[in-house]
Structure 1
Amino acid sequence: MVSASPASASPDGWESQSGIYHYFTVPKSIVPSQTCGNSTGAGAELEGNIGPSGTWAAVGLDASGQNCMADIGPMKPGLYYYQYVAPMADRSKQVFRNPASGVDVTSHPNWNTLFVPGPEVAWMDDVAAGGGTMSDLAYQSGASGSHSVMVWTPPSYDPNRAKPYPVLYLLDDAGQSYREWQELGRAKQILDNLSASGDLASMLVVMADPGATDYRAEVLNRIVPAVEGAYNVIGTGDGRAVAGIGRGASQALGFALSDPGAFGAIGSMSGYLPSDVAITAPLAKAVNKGTDLIRFYVGNTLDPSYNATRDAMLALTSAGVKFQFDGVDPKTGAVWDTWRENLRDFASRVFQPGSSHDGFSAGHRALTEPYTPPATGSITTPDIDANGMVTFETGTQWANAKDVVLWGDWAPNGQWFRIPLTKVGDRWRTTIGPIDGYYYWRYEVNGTAYHDPQDTQNTNNVESQLFVPGGVRTPLLADVPANESGAVATLQYASAYPGNPTMSLKVWTPPDYDPNRAEKYPVLYLYHGMGQNFASWTEVGRAAQILDNLYARGEIAPMVVVMPGYPGISDFWNDLSSKVIPFAQSTFNISHDPSEMALAGLSWGARGTQGALVNHPGTFSAYGIFSPPFASGSLNDTSGPVAKAGTTIVDFFAGDLDSGAVNAIAGMETNLGKYGIPTVKTIVPGPHGFDVWWQGLSDFLPRIFEHGLTIRQGGADFGQVPEGYAPLDPKKLTVTNTESETTGVLSVSLSGPDADKFSVSTDTLASIRAGKKADIRVTAAAGLPAGIYQATVVVAGDAQRVTCSVRLEVTPA
């Protein structure tokens, strides 16, 4: 009996959207734990495929009045599935749902689904009009009674057409329901779009669950006859195709081997060969004769059938069976994100005699070697493979823990998700990916934060650093080559904080820092936030990498950056003015001129930065105020004119979810504007966290200190050479114009006591257009006796000047 398929379930009323964010608002009274949040103890959270690359992750539903609420965004277009979970005081978890919402996923009745539209997923969105019809077909399944399949018929389906329609049968995996092809696979939308674009043969598609025990009889003796009895379809193998996922894929391959010709096309999605079939030469010949298409699909190394798919293809190759391979999908593993694309590809191929492309889908890669995960106990830091897959594994110290997760800035905008680990023996382990760029993370064991015991780089913060190369997500946070990186020193000084006679600070100096340079370096004093420390900017915020990259690109002036600390919620002005600045000036070759001094900070450090501006105007010329919680005062008619006279820029930066900071900045901006102080304000998607603050620092640094010209050093240090050395290759210096106007003609000269020991390739440079570059080559004299030789290259124009140190050390023969 054919009947209309059930309508889509009523949506989750706890989910809503505003702008780029999706909000999940749950009445606290419904939460089984009666508690919000997901830290130590009881709480509430949302978990689903919301992590990077669709990783299953959780976000806390934090207290908001009488509700528990989370926001996620911006969400990449696609289909998400999620559930609400209440961690209880004993660390057990209770799943709960909105009682007013229907069941979205038959095999996971507590799951909700959320489709986020976008151009990149238009192929699985609803068509505007004219889609096919999804129906249920009931049939008798032997002694077990009535079962059903879902049937998609094309928009033009005619039960009386003279030419019957071909049929594609889709088989589910173990643990799935045949309805999952629609509920999570969006089969109707995919087929509707293929049909509308002319990329689908005029055919029917049947979604079925043949079970595990006697799938052959269920399909061939029950499902196929039921379909052929109810619809106008072809009744021979050349008009049938079959594909499946996992177990269903194995069953589809099984039909090719047990009943060659019963189906003319076979699709294996994350599949494997049946173990009880030997492919003899006569069988291989029969398969090739009766099957027009066998095509394999598999996800990345997270797909449990990764090696099994390879083994199946090797077996068919050895037996002489013809097949195609779609290539490894590098983006996802054995999940619906993979299988939807597989369905889209396979459906467009079957019953299409003109289809000639039999290679990989775009961006897919070969499967040449089996995958072997890192051996248990072999990982001392997160293991990153060549494809951006990252494996985490604990030691045995948490063998008795009830749960272990990776807390980190895994969310799209840098908010904090928790990714669960699975217990393997006495260790906890997970693999995520592919990911690229920078993340900071920590373990949480039974809800309590722990530093990675194997991390010896970050020693002052509980978070650890993870940088996965090869992508474009966070390029400024990548390490530069060793010869282009600045130095980061950790120093102690006598502080002004009561009870803390000695404090530490970090200092970054550029790679060509010269303690004897005649022109002192401008200096930035950079502060952390409450609950952080002097190392937070380098150990979590990657300040050194940001400085290294911007300097290597020629986008910032040569400068020194001092990163002090402060205890608790101290006002750091007294310590900064009476201790930090004098200490830095006595230790480094930095300027005392306020026009070459800048101050910046995040959160509580931003409050202190704004306090320095309004209470001590004229001390610094530039201020970076990142996510201030509130103002530390206001300029008045006395301090305002002083601040205006000495301030070149105030850079405000915050995340859009940080309403306190956004409001504080608005008030500060109004106050500064009253006195004509130049400001710039940037609000980006993000929370009160480092994903916002490293962007703020990256925005602020190029704005401070005059650097219309910068020199990108391609190796101005000739290094050590022995006496009698052969002539040395010239060193290249790249001059960049970072201003918005052309420079005019520039002079090039050498200065310093050893200027006569070097030469430059030209004494003038033609005008450099805005944003463009020019090269100079510096040559060292040959035959110099033992000694250290230093000079300075000076490039200057009417109102521009930039220098770069050159050095050569000749050692005794």
Structure 2
Amino acid sequence: MKRLFLLTAAVMTAAVVLAQQALWGVPTMISPEVKADNTVTFRLDAPKASSVVVAGDFSPRGFELMTKDADGIWTYTTPASLAPELYSYTFYVDSLKVSDPNNVYKLRDVSTVSDIFIIGGQLADLYKVNDVPHGTVSKVWYPCSRTGNDRRMTVYTPAGYEKGDRRYPVLYLLHGMGGDENAWTELGRAAQILDNLIARGEAEPMIVVMTNGNVDMQAAPGETSAGLVAPTIQLPHTMDGTFEEAFPEVVEFVDRNYRTLPSKSARAIAGLSMGGYHSMHISKQYPDMFDYVGLFSAAIFPDKSKTSPVYADLEAKLKRQFDNAPALYWIAIGDKDFLYEANTEFRKVLDANGYPYTYYESPDGHIWKNWRIYLAKFVPQLFKRH
């Protein structure tokens, strides 16, 4: 009975502590520790574990075994300096996935949550919050008659937007399957990239609109009246033409509510994977709407079961689009991307018709590392003739 009483008291105490503000949750150790030479040490206190693995994109093979000391602390230090990049990782304790309790910086990608850290330098300096003028990131709801509900977008306005009357060009930046309107600002570091490029004078100040490309979702999971639903990629109306048909409403809303330059020469559209698919089909469906198009690791050809008129007459629509001479048609993909062959086939179509485009190929596969790089390279090329 005494033992039961003590256990009950302990549980009640823990519940009270959890219900209060977390003032005493100080990390017990530094993990990850980024050292001056850009090697990184990971640590985890797990004295009863028989094995601990740290898995992440910092490792060429994807995971590394950690070593336990006499105090039950597991450690792993990278044998060499890491290249500049934003990295993600997680622990596996006796095969159970565990977040790093000493790292509060985490990101969700669909239903996977990972810890993150940044090694600065080169392009990775664009991913950091630097001492430069900062734009504003807003979550904005807009009505959509095509879907019959209100939907949410994320909008970046450049530093100084609120204080003046200047009009700006607009980049429409679209996420991939399983993503949402939060993906590019959280996983893609879009606001930091824009802030830093604009501050350096390497990019034109611009508005960036990041929509939710999932027709069956009003906004990101857990941020609608649907409640705390589990994120999934298995959603209705995915890549069936509905999003493309509704997209002019997004452009009309933005032009009504922001100080835009409402012309083709001042609009760009780009996206990754599914967002690249949407960008390609939207830009050819509405050839007078966008002068700049970016396809990042894009899905290209629709499933044969998709019968939307948006996907009909591909070659005729491409001809009309390129007859209007877009200022930039930019295709980028990793050499190990599962969509590499589809992009090769699409480029053959463009080549056969003499349609001009710029091609950028990087190492690696279908990963955020590449998409951040593509955004950082694409943005400086925009709005040079608006």
Query: What TM-score do the two structures reach when normalised by structure 2?
Result: 0.71
Match of 2:350 among 672, 681, 685: 672
Tell me the SS of whatever aligns to 1:419. strand
- Bigger Cα displacement from structure 2, 528-537 vs 402-411: 402-411
Q: Is the 8 A contact 2:287 2:320 kept in 1?
A: no
Shift of 1:527: 1.2
2:189 — aligned with what? 542
Query: For residue 383 of structure 2, what is the amino acid of its counterpart?
Result: F
Shift of 1:408: 2.3
Does the alignment pair 1:431 with 2:82? Answer: no
Distance 1:692 1:639, change over 3 A: closer
Does the alignment pair 1:697 with 2:356? Answer: no
2:329 — aligned with what? 650
**C-alpha distance in structure 2 between counterparts of 1:494 and 1:451, whole Å:** 38
Q: Is the 8 A contact 1:647 1:677 kept in 2?
A: no
2:138 — aligned with what? 489
2:270 — aligned with what? 600
Greater fraction of residues in strand? 1
Q: Is the 8 A contact 1:460 1:535 kept in 2?
A: no
**C-alpha distance in structure 2 between counterparts of 1:522 and 1:694, whole Å:** 21
Does the alignment pair 1:573 with 2:244? Answer: yes
Does the alignment pair 1:626 with 2:296? Answer: yes
Q: Is the 8 A contact 2:269 2:294 kept in 1?
A: yes
Counterparts in 2 of 1:82-97, with a 5 A limit?
A: none
Q: Is the 8 A contact 2:213 2:275 kept in 1?
A: no
**C-alpha distance in structure 1 between counterparts of 2:48 and 2:164, whole Å:** 58
Distance 1:475 1:448, change over 3 A: same
2:228 — aligned with what? none
Distance 1:473 1:618, change over 3 A: closer
**C-alpha distance in structure 1 between counterparts of 2:153 and 2:48, whole Å:** 39
1:510 — aligned with what? 158
**C-alpha distance in structure 2 between counterparts of 1:622 and 1:585, whole Å:** 17
- Cα deviation, 1:49-82, whole Å, max 9, x if unaligned, reads xxxxxxxxxxxxxxxxxxxxxxxxxxxxxxxxxx
Percent sequence identity is 28
Counterparts in 2 of 1:518-557, with a 5 A limit?
A: 518=166, 520-557=167-204
**C-alpha distance in structure 2 between counterparts of 1:526 and 1:408, whole Å:** 27
**C-alpha distance in structure 1 between counterparts of 2:198 and 2:325, whole Å:** 26
Does the alignment pair 1:562 with 2:209? Answer: yes
- Cα deviation, 1:786-806, whole Å, max 9, x if unaligned, reads xxxxxxxxxxxxxx9xxxxxx
Query: For residue 630 of structure 1, what is the amino acid of its counterpart?
Result: I
1:466 — aligned with what? 117
**C-alpha distance in structure 2 between counterparts of 1:448 and 1:583, whole Å:** 46
Tell me the SS of whatever aligns to 2:365. coil
**C-alpha distance in structure 1 between counterparts of 2:103 and 2:190, whole Å:** 19
Q: Is the 8 A contact 1:654 1:683 kept in 2?
A: yes
Shift of 1:600: 0.6
Distance 1:562 1:395, change over 3 A: farther
**C-alpha distance in structure 2 between counterparts of 1:486 and 1:528, whole Å:** 20
1:635 — aligned with what? 314
- Cα deviation, 1:130-155, whole Å, max 9, x if unaligned, reads xxxxxxxxxxxxxxxxxxxxxxxxxx
**C-alpha distance in structure 2 between counterparts of 1:587 and 1:616, whole Å:** 21
**C-alpha distance in structure 1 between counterparts of 2:107 and 2:144, whole Å:** 22
Q: Is the 8 A contact 2:277 2:299 kept in 1?
A: yes
Tell me the SS of whatever aligns to 2:315. coil
Does the alignment pair 1:422 with 2:67? Answer: yes
Shift of 1:625: 0.3
Q: Is the 8 A contact 1:573 1:608 kept in 2?
A: yes
Shift of 1:559: 0.6
Shift of 1:495: 5.6
Query: For residue 431 of structure 1, what is the amino acid of its counterpart?
Result: T
- Cα deviation, 1:137-176, whole Å, max 9, x if unaligned, reads xxxxxxxxxxxxxxxxxxxxxxxxxxxxxxxxxxxxxxxx
**C-alpha distance in structure 2 between counterparts of 1:394 and 1:443, whole Å:** 11
**C-alpha distance in structure 2 between counterparts of 1:587 and 1:450, whole Å:** 44
**C-alpha distance in structure 2 between counterparts of 1:436 and 1:685, whole Å:** 14
**C-alpha distance in structure 2 between counterparts of 1:417 and 1:479, whole Å:** 28
Query: For residue 174 of structure 2, what is the amino acid of its counterpart?
Result: Y
Query: For residue 341 of structure 2, what is the amino acid of its counterpart?
Result: N
Shift of 1:453: 5.1
1:684 — aligned with what? 362
Query: For residue 652 of structure 1, what is the amino acid of its counterpart?
Result: I
Structure 1 unmatched ranges of 5 or more: 1-375, 708-799, 801-813
**C-alpha distance in structure 2 between counterparts of 1:494 and 1:395, whole Å:** 50
Query: For residue 699 of structure 1, what is the amino acid of its counterpart?
Result: K
Q: Is the 8 A contact 1:527 1:563 kept in 2?
A: yes
Distance 1:547 1:670, change over 3 A: same
1:440 — aligned with what? 87
Shift of 1:690: 1.8
Shift of 1:573: 1.9
2:227 — aligned with what? none
Q: Which structure would you say has the larger RCO, counting Cα contacts within 8 Å and 6 or more residues apart?
A: 2
Counterparts in 2 of 1:339-358, with a 5 A limit?
A: none
Match of 1:405 among 53, 57, 77: 53
Q: Is the 8 A contact 1:602 1:693 kept in 2?
A: yes
1:779 — aligned with what? none
Shift of 1:521: 0.7
**C-alpha distance in structure 1 between counterparts of 2:187 and 2:129, whole Å:** 14
**C-alpha distance in structure 2 between counterparts of 1:436 and 1:521, whole Å:** 35
Shift of 1:597: 1.1
Q: Is the 8 A contact 2:322 2:355 kept in 1?
A: yes
Query: For residue 384 of structure 1, what is the amino acid of its counterpart?
Result: V
Greater Rg over alpha carbons, structure: 1
Counterparts in 2 of 1:238-253, with a 5 A limit?
A: none
Shift of 1:656: 0.8
**C-alpha distance in structure 2 between counterparts of 1:454 and 1:495, whole Å:** 43
Aligned length: 322
Query: For residue 41 of structure 2, what is the amino acid of its counterpart?
Result: T
Counterparts in 2 of 1:67-466, with a 5 A limit?
A: 378-379=28-29, 382-394=32-44, 403-411=51-59, 417-423=62-68, 425=71, 428-432=74-78, 434-445=81-92, 446-447=94-95, 449-452=97-100, 456-458=104-106, 460-461=108-109, 462-466=113-117
- Cα deviation, 1:708-752, whole Å, max 9, x if unaligned, reads xxxxxxxxxxxxxxxxxxxxxxxxxxxxxxxxxxxxxxxxxxxxx
Distance 1:515 1:592, change over 3 A: farther
Query: For residue 573 of structure 1, what is the amino acid of its counterpart?
Result: E
